[in-house]
Amino acid sequence: MNLLDATFRTSAAFELVQFERMATTEQRTLAGLRNDPECFGVLKPARDGEDMKAVCLRTALLWLSLRTPGALPRCLLDPDEGVANAAVARLVLDHIIEIETERGFVGGAAWCPIERPDANLVGEGVIGRLSLDALRYAAALRLHDPLVLSSRLYDYFRLPQTPEIVSSLGEAAERAGIWRLAPPLEWSTSTTEYWRYFSRRGAPPARCKAYVSPMPSAFVEVFERLMKVFDALPVCGFKIGSDTEQLLRPDKCVVYLPDRKALEELCAALSPIVATLPAHGVPFTAALESRGVLSWGADPPRDDARLPWQGPSWRRWITDRLAVTLCGGARLAESPLQFALERLRLEGVDTTTWAPLDPGVHPAHA
């Protein structure tokens, strides 16, 4: 849908406030915004049902220019029409601006192009269905804190920590010596509260990641074989849960790779090993095979001097955005799940396969 030639106006749902003109208490609360050199200030809700939104200078100027309805100021839009169109759609869905339609000027949930009701949404494959189940669960919680809701989405499908599961898994892990296995010479290891990390010395920067997610007991039994595969391929690093509790999470093993070619090589090498293993499955990742044992994602770019895992993750990036939408505009939508999926799609995520729409570019920088 091409929006660039439509007529728009500023939404009456917000009031624009420059950061320096906010109350002192508000400046303290939002002090982190000072670290963003592009941040101009915030759009403060002028009525119930909306949330405060931080805006850059370009968005602030666009919002001010449309106080009188009219065409979009092209000088404030990205020269790439596809990028500009998606950016404008995000502004309308977030109700920052409104678009003129046959029903008058609308924005937010009133404009969301719904393809089908939430009850008719069907995920693609095992992981697609699992991801939609997580989204339905999150929507049913009716939480108003995006940080709490993002964590619930992120942790979805973690196995319960019952005494029986912990005992049997702990015994299996002890027999296999999973946390005692020494890495090959060119690898270094470190351990934190949640992860045991394996880093290949001199590895190039990681550009994508694979998730290896059989059920915990099966993972323990094959881990030594997996580690041999990781050593034989151009893997930058990998991490596994640091104890029994962390092996109950779906993303219990994450492998960092330099490019898509290495990802394909890894998938081919692992497929015979995991072919008969019971699948666990990681929500909000893109499947590499039909059963949900292998999947992938593309983390936002990070400082090349850092280790692969020292930066924002693909799944957390997704769950943060879904949580903000579910706690915000989706509350007013006739189909909240469809609204949340459409808003995330405009960030560059294929919400059917949960892969980046452009596999060569992370959505945050598309």
Residue 51: predicted pLDDT: 77
Question: In DSSP terms, which residues pair with 254 in a beta bridge?
Answer: 211, 239
CA distance from start to end of the chain: 18
Domain boundaries in the chain?
1-111, 163-280
318-353 pLDDT, tens digit per residue, is 999 999 999 988 888 889 999 999 999 999 999 999
Q: Please list the ranges in the chain whose pLDDT falls under 70.
A: 48-49, 114-116, 300-312, 359-366
The type of residue at 360 is G
Residue 78: is it exposed, middle or buried by C-beta count within 10 angstroms (0-12/13-18/19+)? middle
Q: What pTM value is reported for the model?
A: 0.87
Question: In DSSP terms, which residues pair with 97 in a beta bridge?
Answer: 10
Please state, as a whole number, how many other Cβ atoms lie within 10 Å of the Cβ of residue 94: 25
130-141 pLDDT, tens digit per residue, is 999 999 999 999
Q: How far is CA 66 from the centre of its chain?
A: 32
Residue 303: predicted pLDDT: 47
Residue 48: predicted pLDDT: 65
